[in-house]
Amino acid sequence: MNNLKPINQTKLFGLDKYISELIQLYKNSKLPNKILLSGPKGLGKSTLAFHFINFILSQNEDSSYDAINFVINAENHSFKTVKNGSNLNFFLIDIDLKYKSINIDQIRDLISQLNKSSLNNKPRFILIDNIEFLNINSINALLKILEEPSSNIYFILINNNKKILPTLLSRCINFKFSLTNQESKIIASKLLGEDINEFINDDLINYYISPGNLYNLIKFGIDNDYDLKNLKLDQFLKEVIKKNHYKNDNLIKYLTFELIEFYFTKVNSLISSDFFNKYHYFIKRISDTRKFNLDEESLFLEFENKILNE
């Protein structure tokens, strides 16, 4: 199966209209220098950002970006240097897993890089992924840069549909991404290289699940020898919690959050007042756990005990 890290993806699936709009804005010299790409995690926003950046940086290079089929040539110079971190026109900031946030030192490093003179006339791009993990100090430092960015410097911020400070939102032009359930399934099948229906049943497919998360769910099932074709949602959640899979894999941790929310949606038609109260209780606990980076183990164990084992 493919490595889904956005920086490695040479093909872009299902987001043609979004990248075409950005390309057209750039060609017409109307591209905003502070862009926010918003939508559910796993939709392909970061992959699109890497493709768009390659389109611009590779324009006068051999094997430049294929803007008709939305494909990066793996032999392209800009693609190779972005991948190995040596491209002077590209700077990536993402969550530091050690601190579970984007910390102030990362923003200071960015400021230091921006103060250096460019060695060519190409635009410079700063891609900040998972901006919901910016801490307050990082946001304040970033806001100062965003107020008056230098010419020929573009900021692309990735927001996974999480609440962000109005002061940050107001400084950016927001591009909102969405896919239908059917589009997500088609894209996930392309990423997988096979029909997803051969690997998973509908009971596990959240109507709002993104292609990346659907792909990761199937990959997790294959890697851990789970028969997702014949496993029900409550059974799968019990296994993930019982075997502590979420402790070793951040992707599975966040998928577990989503699947718990999905579980309450599925049983909504059978809801009682007691269950309704439990639903709101756990949804708030999930929100607080994500927002404040709290320990998720007690939440999952309580959900298993009070909901799955009843």
Query: For residue range 109-152, what is the model confidence (pLDDT) as tens digits?
Result: 999 988 887 778 899 999 999 998 898 899 999 998 898 777 88
Paired with 90 in beta bridges are 125
pLDDT per residue over 170-214, tens digit each?
999 999 999 999 999 999 999 999 999 999 999 999 888 899 999
Q: What is the mean pLDDT of residues 23-31?
A: 97
The superfamily (CATH) of domain 6-176 is P-loop containing nucleotide triphosphate hydrolases (3.40.50.300)
Paired with 34 in beta bridges are 155
DSSP for residue 133? G
CATH 3.40.50.300 domain residues, the chain = 6-176
pTM score: 0.91
Q: What is the mean pLDDT of residues 243-256?
A: 88
Do the Cβ atoms of 44 and 212 come closer than 8 Å? yes
Do the Cβ atoms of 17 and 54 come closer than 8 Å? no
Q: Looking at 36-45, 56-65, 285-294, which range is the least confident one?
A: 285-294
